[in-house]
């Protein structure tokens, strides 16, 4: 038996023993344990299938050396068995290759207009729509957290969460500077302008991930302002939370209810603190992987959207494609898969 297989058997036994306690079902640990149990069960099935196929290949190989019609049939079956074994071993290789421990998390995405004025804010709104449509295409839920719109219909800033099947795994590569080259709607002479938008992708933190002491927080309540519903400019529902040790400030005024605004602001604060913790832990990563995944540094240009040439280029993996309209409609899986492939190759080294 493979050493790794035995480790998985032992881990599964420990989890199943833990799940025998009825109290675990009301614990916040239960979803992760149940998911890990399913993963281990699937992995052990693959190990069993691999062992079974190897035995069949050994027996069929002997038969193929016997001569006659039976040997011919055995040779044909051998091809199928080897193909099946290759598929199973490929699946096992994917599972056994180290992965980012945060892949299963939901994400909070912060998009901010940078260089380019109104054109930058308009592109920020287009990126928001791109990620929202990607989420819709993949069965994920988008939860709006807050924004700062401008008069052109764009966003100076927009913050939202995406929840579903491992969104952080697929969207973590979006962190960095997105550059757009096109003729702005306000340009009368048809000149191409270059603008930039920054994207931060935060793995959403759970309350158990980050310890925040109440004494470390300064919470201010004020009247909501700007675009919004009936509560704007009429109720003291907006919340500003300052994390004193780090100086991080989070504001939320999207909800009419002060408590809900506080909950959203705390969720963003926890996620920013978790992202900072992860970044500190990743300082020992290889230079190549840091270049691929990045640090979330907002001076790090990762992708260019060249509208006149209908070309998107991801600078980290030197990958280019056409059909920008489709990409802005959420069809960015090819970009994501190229980055996932590069990450897998680096982690497998």
pLDDT of 299: 56
Q: Is 101 domain-assigned? A: no
Name the domain boundary from 246, 263, 280: 280
Q: What average pLDDT does range 54-66 have in this prediction?
A: 88
Percent of the chain with pLDDT over 70: 87
Q: Is 188 domain-assigned? A: yes
Half-sphere exposure of 33 (CA within 13 A, CB side): 17
pLDDT of 197: 92
- More confident site: 319 or 190: 319
Q: Is 263 domain-assigned? A: yes
- Pair (302, 344) in one structural domain: yes
Q: Which residues pair with 88 in a beta bridge?
A: none
- Pair (272, 286) in one structural domain: no
- Pair (204, 315) in one structural domain: yes
Q: What average pLDDT does range 212-219 have in this prediction?
A: 81
- Pair (111, 199) in one structural domain: yes
Mean pLDDT of the chain: 84
How many structural domains comprise the chain?
A: 3
pLDDT band at 208 (very low <50, low <70, confident <90, very high): low
Is residue 97's pLDDT more than 80?
Answer: no
Q: What average pLDDT does range 5-22 have in this prediction?
A: 92
Residues of the domain holding 49? 3-96
pLDDT of 29: 83
Helix (H, G, I), strand (E, B) or coil at 103: coil
**Residue 145 sits in a domain of what CATH number?**
3.30.70.1660
- Pair (154, 297) in one structural domain: yes
CA gap 269, 248 in Å, rounded: 8
pLDDT of 233: 46
pLDDT band at 308 (very low <50, low <70, confident <90, very high): very high
- Pair (114, 184) in one structural domain: yes
**Residue 230 sits in a domain of what CATH number?**
3.30.160.20
- pLDDT tens profile 64-76: 887 777 888 888 8
- Pair (163, 16) in one structural domain: no
- Pair (65, 156) in one structural domain: no
Is residue 25's pLDDT more than 60?
Answer: yes
Q: Is 102 domain-assigned? A: no
Name the domain boundary from 228, 255, 280: 280
Half-sphere exposure of 344 (CA within 13 A, CB side): 15
Cβ contacts of residue 40 below 8 Å, gap of 6+?
8, 11, 12, 15
pLDDT of 290: 53
pLDDT band at 225 (very low <50, low <70, confident <90, very high): low
The dihedrals phi and psi of 205, each to the nearest 5 degrees, come to -90, 145
- Pair (307, 198) in one structural domain: yes
Name the domain boundary from 48, 66, 96: 96
**CA separation, residue 255 to residues 38, 132, 243, 262 (Å):** 37, 20, 21, 9
CA gap 237, 222 in Å, rounded: 6
- Pair (138, 269) in one structural domain: no
pLDDT of 229: 45
Is residue 188's pLDDT more than 80?
Answer: no
E strand spans, 114-257: 141-149, 155-163, 176-182, 193-203, 217-222, 238-243, 248-252
Q: What average pLDDT does range 326-344 have in this prediction?
A: 93
pLDDT band at 236 (very low <50, low <70, confident <90, very high): low
Residue 109: in which H helix or E strand, if any?
strand 107-113
pLDDT of 230: 43
- pLDDT tens profile 75-93: 888 999 999 999 999 888 8
- Pair (158, 118) in one structural domain: yes
- Pair (155, 66) in one structural domain: no
- More confident site: 92 or 100: 92
């Amino acid at each position: 038996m493979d050493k790794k297989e035995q480790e998985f058997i032992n881990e599964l036994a420990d989890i199943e023993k833990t799940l025998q306690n009825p109290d675990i079902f009301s614990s916040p640990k239960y979803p992760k344990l149940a998911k890990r149990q399913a993963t281990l069960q699937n992995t052990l099935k693959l190990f069993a299938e691999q062992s079974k196929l190897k035995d069949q290949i050994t027996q069929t190989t002997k038969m193929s050396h016997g001569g006659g019609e039976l040997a011919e049939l055995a040779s044909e079956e051998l091809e199928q068995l080897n193909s099946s074994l290759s598929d199973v071993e490929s699946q096992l290789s994917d599972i056994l290759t180290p992965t980012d421990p945060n892949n299963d998390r939901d994400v909070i995405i912060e998009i901010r207009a940078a260089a380019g004025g109104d054109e930058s804010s308009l592109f920020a709104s287009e990126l928001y729509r791109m990620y929202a449509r990607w989420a819709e295409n993949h069965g994920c839920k988008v939860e709006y957290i807050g924004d700062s719109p401008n008069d052109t219909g764009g966003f100076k800033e927009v913050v939202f969460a995406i929840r579903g099947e491992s969104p952080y795994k697929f969207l973590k590569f979006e962190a960095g500077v997105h550059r757009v080259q096109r003729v702005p709607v306000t340009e009368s002479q048809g000149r191409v302008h270059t603008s930039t938008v920054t994207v931060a992708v935060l793995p959403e933190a759970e309350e158990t991930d980050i310890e925040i002491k109440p004494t470390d927080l300064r919470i201010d309540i004020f009247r909501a302002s700007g675009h919004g519903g009936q509560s704007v400019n009429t109720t003291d529902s907006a919340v500003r939370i300052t994390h004193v040790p780090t100086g991080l400030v989070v504001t939320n005024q999207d909800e009419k209810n002060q408590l809900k605004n506080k909950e959203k602001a705390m969720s963003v604060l926890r996620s920013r603190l978790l992202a900072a913790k992860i970044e500190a832990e990743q300082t020992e990563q290889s230079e190549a992987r840091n270049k691929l995944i990045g640090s979330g540094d907002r001076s790090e240009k990762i992708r260019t959207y060249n509208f006149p040439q209908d070309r998107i280029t991801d600078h980290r993996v030197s990958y280019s494609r056409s059909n920008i309209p489709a990409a802005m409609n959420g069809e960015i899986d090819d970009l994501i898969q190229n980055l996932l492939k590069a990450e897998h190759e680096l982690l497998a080294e």
